[in-house]
Amino acid sequence: MVTEAAEAVAEVAAEGAAEAVAEAVTGGGLAPLVVVLQPREETFPSGAADVVTSGALTRHHVQAMIGAHVQPVLPAGTVACAPGPVNAASDEFRVTVKGVEGHAAYPHLTRDPVLAMAQVIVAAQHLVSRVADPMAPTVVTFGTVNAGTTPNAVPVEAVARGTLRTMSQEWRERLYRRFTQVVEDTARAYGCVAEVEIFPGEPILVNDPALAALAGERLREHGWMVDDELRSCGADDFARYGDVAASLMMFVGVDTEKGLHSPAFLPGDAAVEAVADALLAGYLAAAPSAASSAPSSTTGAPSAADGR
């Protein structure tokens, strides 16, 4: 899970950015801002999908969605603001391998699902190295493996869960089929039967090129280093906002040795200012286009999602 420290940075930064925009809007001329504090940012079902389907963004005439995510692979003082795909589509899977249980001293009388699962995990990696196009980033990661309750028995089944990720929508759909085939055939080779369940998750996160370019200019003007190349197979349900508005997710460098999802991840206080600055740059990039494309009865609102 995202740590409480990262969430605190996100909420305080979003509040600070909103206060700054409120003062500017009061002064006249700029489009208003909607701050989105969505539920379930990293939990299925997607909180962003709920926000989109609720119609709230349409009711507020939101023209652009802006987000910022802390990113320890970047040095402090750097903000990544790349156009196009920046995060992968992400799906989860559950693999159940069923064998024949028995005493560990008589393995020839069993069909060992633990051994079969071990081979499944290894075999699945060739999908990345030998099946996927090298130009289509792909990840196959097994995150949990569970089997048995005692050291002197072969269990009846082994269960693994993990994630499939890629930057290619076309390959994403074929990856489901190829992964299932590899798992089933490998388990069968060891006398076991495999069941594969795939749970579709978040889509590819695509940054609007115009927003990325304008936000990058604003950041450079105010002394920030801008990285316009960073992409990763991370995933974020912020991607769903791209279905209803131009969207931009930036990644803000922070000074910490621990990586994302580490319980020891604790950015310094400077991260709050950095995320707020990124959100403001995104807002300023979106504000002119939002104001010009809004319905005559209201001013369009660039919407800054909370920094993540």
Q: Are residues 12 and 105 in the same domain?
A: no
Count of structural domains within the chain:
2
One domain, residues 80 and 227? yes
**Cβ-based burial of 52 (10 A; exposed 0-12, middle 13-18, buried ≥19):** buried
How high is the pLDDT of residue 304? 58
Q: For a pLDDT cut of 70, what percent of the chain falls above it?
A: 83
Beta bridge partners of 84: 207
44 token code pair = 């299925």
Instruction: Specify whether 149 is located in the same domain as 228.
Output: no
Q: Are residues 176 and 96 in the same domain?
A: yes
Q: What is the band of 34 on the pLDDT scale with cuts at 50, 70, 90?
A: confident
Identify whether residues 162 and 16 lie together within a single domain. no
Q: Which of 202, 230, 260 is the last residue of a domain?
A: 202
Same domain, 286 and 141: no
Q: Is residue 23's pLDDT more than 50?
A: yes
Position 168 pLDDT exceeds 50:
yes
Contact 304, 66 (CB under 8 A): yes
Domain identity same for 156 and 283: no
305 Cβ partners below 8 Å, 6+ apart? 14, 35, 36, 38, 65, 66, 67, 238, 241
CATH code at position 172 = 3.30.70.360
Residue 155: domain span: 89-202
Report pLDDT digits (tens) over 113-163.
999 999 999 999 999 999 999 999 999 999 999 999 999 999 999 999 999
Residue 83, pLDDT score: 97
Q: What is the pLDDT of residue 306?
A: 54
Q: Which of 202, 223, 251 is the last residue of a domain?
A: 202
Task: Please check the confidence at residue 295 and state whether its pLDDT lies above 60.
Answer: no
Question: What pLDDT is stored for residue 175 in this prediction?
Answer: 98
Coil, helix or strand for 128?
A: helix
Q: Residue 76's domain is classified under what CATH number? A: 3.40.630.10
Same-domain status, 105 and 189:
yes
User: Do 288 and 257 share a structural domain?
Assistant: yes
Distance CA 60, CA 81 (A): 26
Bigger pLDDT: 267 or 125? Answer: 125
Q: What is the pLDDT of residues 202-239, one digit of tens each?
A: 999 999 999 999 999 999 999 999 999 999 999 999 99
pLDDT digits (tens, 9 = 90+) for 72-108: 999 999 999 999 999 999 999 999 999 999 999 999 9
* Alpha helices (H) in the chain, listed in sequence order: 4-27, 47-54, 56-59, 113-124, 126, 169-189, 209-221, 270-293
Sign of the Cα pseudo-torsion (43, 46, 48, 53, in order): negative
Same domain, 260 and 161: no
The whole-angstrom separation of Cα 82 and Cα 215 is 10
Both 112 and 191 in a single domain? yes
Residue 67 falls in which region: left (phi positive, over 0), alpha (psi -120 to 50) or beta: beta
Is residue 169 located within the same domain as residue 100? yes
Q: Report the C-alpha gap between 301 and 294 in whole angstroms.
A: 8
Burial, 97: exposed, middle or buried (Cβ in 10 Å; 0-12, 13-18, 19+)? buried
Domain final residue pick, 202, 233, 268: 202
Residue 46: pLDDT over 50? yes
